[in-house]
Homo-oligomer: A and B are copies of this chain.
Amino acid sequence: MNRSERLSGKLELRAQILKALAHPTRLLFVEELGKGERCVCELQGMVDLDMSTVSKHLSVLKGVGLVTDQKRGNQVFYTLQTPCILRIFDCVEQAVRANLQKQVEIFR
């Protein structure tokens, strides 16, 4: 049983989900989608990025099943599929604060 075999499965899948979340722009989109479905143009309006880049970020989230898309007219609306993801941020915030506290201690 080699490394890739041992790491395949549960941990690989978890890492994929976390990697999909691990970008500021995608975190912003997930947070916004937590308030309700949004079209790509609405999400693009929140950032200073090319439409193609926004589209690719959304395809990353869609690729791991965190969001789904639905075309209505000539717009595409994205919906958050696992809203519990938003609760992750509570602990992440705690980690962030612990991190900042550590920095303070280092430079004291």
Contact = CB atoms under 8 A, between A and B. Distances in A.
Interface in A20-60: 21-25, 27-28, 47-49
A47 B6 contact: yes
**Total identical chains:** 2
Tell me the interface secondary structure of chain A in the complex: helix
A53 to B, nearest CB: 10
A99 interface: yes
Contact of A13 (B23, B96, B101): B96
Contact of A49 (B3, B18, B21): B3
B3 A48 contact: yes
Nearest to A9: B24
A24 B48 contact: no
A67 to B, nearest CB: 10
